[in-house]
Amino acid sequence: MRRAAVSIPSNIAEGHGRLTTKEYRRFLGIARGSLKELETQMLIALELDYLSGAAIDSWNRTADEVSRMLTTLIATLGDRAT
């Protein structure tokens, strides 16, 4: 779970450092995939009673906000290849 969580901002940063918008968008997509991976792991942790429903609810609000920000940023960048 830590690796997936750390992967989100790491991929955003790496993509931002790339030379083209197309590469940046690709890394933002990878970051979004890592967020989905973490969401899945959180649900599994809930099913296995490692986390409480309250903890998941709080985390879901944050994950939804991050997901919206990533989606908006990707859409803002459009299909520009430069």
Domain coordinates of the chain in residue numbers? 2-77
pTM, full prediction? 0.86
**Non-local CB neighbours of 45 within 8 Å, separated by 6+ positions:** 1, 51
Residue 55 pLDDT level (bands cut at 50, 70, 90): confident
Mean pLDDT lowest among 14-18, 52-56, 70-74: 52-56
| Amino acid code (one letter) for 17 | G
Residue 14 pLDDT level (bands cut at 50, 70, 90): very high
Residue 39 pLDDT level (bands cut at 50, 70, 90): very high
8 burial type by CB count under 10 A (0-12 exposed, 13-18 middle, 19+ buried): buried
Picking from 62, 61, 74, the residue whose alpha carbon sits closest to that of residue 15 is 74
- Contact 59/39 with Cβ under 8 angstroms? no
What is the architecture, at CATH level 2, of domain 2-77? Up-down Bundle (1.20)
* Per-residue pLDDT, 22: 94
Residue 53 pLDDT level (bands cut at 50, 70, 90): confident
